[in-house]
Amino acid sequence: MHATPILQHLKKHGQLLDSEIAAATGIPLADVRASLSDLSARGEISRCNVTRFTDGKPVESILCRVSGFSPPAAPGRKAGASTASV
């Protein structure tokens, strides 16, 4: 139902929490979680359950990203092996 906008948002913004996806897309959190479960079952995303502590209280969330997706390399010089002569 909401799988397409959620998947597009993950592709654009990378790894996110379910609450961040809900806030950004305007989809209710319960619907986001149901869609994430469906996407995970189809193998389109990787997800894991996380517990974060806010003011000493545990907050259960789902952290997810697109499966098999790695962002493109940043432009510019890269660190590499030095080929200094001895």
Domains, the chain, ranges and CATH?
3-66 (1.10.10.10)
Strand partners of residue 47? 64
The predicted model scores a pTM of 0.74
The pLDDT score that the predictor gives to residue 40 is 92
The pLDDT score that the predictor gives to residue 49 is 94
DSSP strands (E only) in the chain: 16-17, 45-54, 57-66
| pLDDT tens digits along 18-63 | 999 999 999 999 999 999 999 999 999 999 999 999 999 999 999 9
C-alpha dihedral sign at 7, 13, 14, 19: negative
What is the rounded distance in angstroms from the CA atom of residue 27 to the CA atom of residue 31?
7
